[in-house]
Amino acid sequence: MRKAKVFVINGLILTITTLIMRSISLYFNLYVSNKVGSEAIGVFSLVMSVYMFAITIASSGIGLAATRIVTEELTQNNIIGAKKAINLCLKYSLIIAIFTSFLLIINSKYIAIKWLNNTVSNTPLYYIALGLPFIAMSSVLNGYFTARRKAIKIASAQIFEFLVKFIATIYLLKINSSKGVEFICIALILADCISEIFSFLYSFMLYYFDKHKFLNTRTANLHYTKTIFKIAFPVATTSYIRSGLSTLKQLIIPVKLQSAGLSSAQALSSYGIINGMVMPIISFPSIFITSFSNLLVPEFSEYYVRKSFSIINNIIGRIFKITIVFSICIAIACIGFSNELSIAIYRDSECSEFIKILSPLICFIYLDNIIDNILKGLDKQFAVMCCNILDLFTSICFICVLLPKFGTMGYVATIFISEILNFSISLLILIKTTKFKFDFKNWIFKPLCFCIFSYLVVYFLNFSFSNFVFDLFLHIAIFVFIYFSILFSNKIISRQDFGI
């Protein structure tokens, strides 16, 4: 019970922190998108795809290795071993990240011409290279704090990073926003790099003081290098392939949209609307899930080491039920209030149709995130990566086939195929690994019926006040209250499901 409460408290800390940050970030992204336009957002999204690929190579799965090894060593009270493992992880992450930065710099002109289609020069890539070592080492420190169940320290680092990014972005955009798309991208990338550097320095300070609280016990394992790369190598290898395919996928989308008859500006604008405007709305509520999801890796890793398989299945059942009833609520809300959400957030209804179309994917996206973290805790990270690689390869094939013929709606169809395929394979792997049973009636059918009923009640009430945003907030709040009241009264969910 105590472990459940610690898990819930840590999850709540991360959820509240992320909720505040995401709320500010959503408003901030609105400010940026209104200031620079959807075309610039589309170009920035292309540069970010290269950025994420570089981060994947720089981090190379070392952060996950840090979480797994520290969790296992602390479970056995091997403090010296945990410290040594983290120091090695930091060293290896720095070496790999510096090498990645070097490769990025020497290939920057080729990437700008061939990958980014000359939409920007190679200058933003130099700033990306600057930030990679700090991002890689930060991932190791986050892995350490995750294993230590120190959510408050992860949360404080996130807040500090965002504040630095917020200030840097406003200042740099003020200087560069009138100079064109390239300078806008440079401003956004440089602001991100500055925030990553400050975030690492802050996290390292927290780590330095935290590790000195331990009294050294037991002797250190002399083979942590082998253990680190045993965990990291399959993750890194498949991550390279996955991230490479993901980057390729993002880069060819505007090209294939142009094959459907769209101009370059129209293709980048459509890409920016879906990736930079619609998907953030759909994924925003996932903070209530992902904050807890990221904490599942050390929890399941510990139970897996102890071979407590009955506890594992029990926890999976509770997590699935909570995630499904929550994601159904979000999906119906996005479908029912799509037009109002688009107007309230972007002051325009151009996103509303895509919000409504893509909202059914919410359940698959949220659950897939949960399943991936559970599988990583069960030492199935290689299977997770293979699943993601298959998903990306399939997506690229459909992008090449559907986008030239159907344009933007072909891209939407590809997103559906990708998310459903990824979820289905991950679920099959989880069921095969744990043998847990899926309760369709109580986890999907009843919550969906109750959710639709709750929305219809609010819809037919048809009340309104003078303030549009307040009306929207009140409608959603009443809808959520009715839905969860019915769930609790029918004992679909209970306080015990949340460890209370």
Q: How far apart are CA 451 and CA 140, in angstroms?
A: 41
7 pLDDT higher than 60: no
Least confident range of 16-20, 120-124, 148-152: 16-20
Packing angle, helices 309-336 and 338-346, rounded to 10: 80
Span 90-101, mean pLDDT?
A: 90
Find out whether 41 and 277 touch, Cβ atoms under 8 Å: yes
Residue 69 counted as domain residue: yes
Span 44-48, mean pLDDT?
A: 77
Q: Which of 265, 289, 298 is nearest to 74 (CA)?
A: 298
The percentage of the chain sitting over the pLDDT mark of 70, rounded to a whole number, equals 82
Least confident range of 90-94, 109-113, 371-375, 465-469: 465-469
479 pLDDT higher than 60: yes
pLDDT at 486: 93
Number of domains in the chain: 1
Token duo for residue 199: 């975030």
Mean pLDDT: which of 81-90, 224-233, 418-427 is highest?
A: 418-427
- Look at residue 462 and give its three-state secondary structure: coil
Q: How far apart are CA 375 and CA 432, in angstroms?
A: 11
Least confident range of 10-19, 58-67, 69-78: 10-19
Residue 70 counted as domain residue: yes
> Residue holding tokens 């991230």?
243
**For residue 500, what pLDDT band results from cuts at 50, 70 and 90?**
very low
Give tens-digit pLDDT for 431-445.
888 888 878 888 889
Span 492-497, mean pLDDT?
A: 74
Q: How far apart are CA 455 and CA 189, in angstroms?
A: 41
498 pLDDT higher than 70: no
Q: How far apart are CA 170 and CA 149, in angstroms?
A: 34
* More confident call, 472 vs 152: 472
Task: To the nearest 10°, report the CA torsion of 333, 336, 340, 344.
Answer: 10
226 pLDDT higher than 80: no
Token duo for residue 279: 């998907």
CA distances from 144 to 8, 60, 207, 282, 328 (A): 19, 16, 8, 30, 33
Token duo for residue 13: 């800390």
Task: To the nearest 10°, report the CA torsion of 334, 340, 346, 349.
Answer: 100
Find out whether 325 and 485 touch, Cβ atoms under 8 Å: no
Supply the DSSP string of 48-92, one letter for each residue. Answer: HHHHHHHHHHHHTTHHHHHHHHHHHHHHTT-HHHHHHHHHHHHHH
Residue 427 counted as domain residue: no
Span 61-80, mean pLDDT?
A: 77
* More confident call, 48 vs 17: 48
The counts of H helices and E strands in the chain are 22, 0
10 pLDDT higher than 80: no
Q: Which of 279, 453, 285, 311 is nearest to 378 (CA)?
A: 311
**Number of other CB atoms surrounding residue 27 within 10 Å:** 11
pLDDT at 215: 54
Residue 331 counted as domain residue: no
Span 224-251, mean pLDDT?
A: 71
Residue 309 counted as domain residue: no
Packing angle, helices 181-211 and 38-59, rounded to 10: 40
Q: How far apart are CA 94 and CA 140, in angstroms?
A: 10
Supply the DSSP string of 332-396, one letter for each residue. Answer: HHHHHTHHHHHHHHHSSSTTHHHHHHHGGGHHHHHHHHHHHHHHHHTT-HHHHHHHHHHHHHHHH
483 pLDDT higher than 90: yes
Residue type, 98: I
Give tens-digit pLDDT for 240-284.
776 677 777 777 887 888 888 787 777 777 777 787 778 878 887
pLDDT at 217: 56
Q: How far apart are CA 257 and CA 19, in angstroms?
A: 34
pLDDT at 25: 64
Q: How far apart are CA 446 and CA 195, in angstroms?
A: 45
**For residue 28, what pLDDT band results from cuts at 50, 70 and 90?**
low
Least confident range of 134-143, 164-173, 446-455: 164-173
**Number of other CB atoms surrounding residue 424 within 10 Å:** 14
Residue 24 counted as domain residue: no
6 pLDDT higher than 60: no
Give tens-digit pLDDT for 123-156.
888 888 998 999 999 988 888 887 777 767 877 8
235 pLDDT higher than 80: no
4 pLDDT higher than 80: no
Q: Which of 289, 287, 290, 312 is nearest to 377 (CA)?
A: 312
* More confident call, 97 vs 382: 97
pLDDT at 317: 84
pLDDT at 202: 93
Residue type, 321: K
Give tens-digit pLDDT for 179-205.
767 777 888 888 889 999 999 999 899
Find out whether 125 and 113 touch, Cβ atoms under 8 Å: no
456 pLDDT higher than 90: yes
Task: To the nearest 10°, report the CA torsion of 190, 192, 197, 200.
Answer: -170
Considering the chain, what is the average pLDDT of its residues?
80
Q: Which of 147, 150, 152, 149 is nearest to 63 (CA)?
A: 147
Q: How far apart are CA 468 and CA 45, in angstroms?
A: 31
pLDDT at 478: 92
Token duo for residue 380: 């199935």
pTM metric for this prediction: 0.67
Residue 219 counted as domain residue: yes
3-state percent breakdown (helix, strand, coil) of the chain, nearest 5? 85, 0, 15
427 pLDDT higher than 80: yes
Mean pLDDT: which of 130-144, 176-190, 217-231, 297-311 is highest?
A: 130-144
Q: How far apart are CA 55 and CA 93, in angstroms?
A: 11
Residue 194 counted as domain residue: yes
pLDDT at 450: 94
Q: How far apart are CA 477 and CA 471, in angstroms?
A: 10
**For residue 22, what pLDDT band results from cuts at 50, 70 and 90?**
low
Domain span holding position 186: 35-259
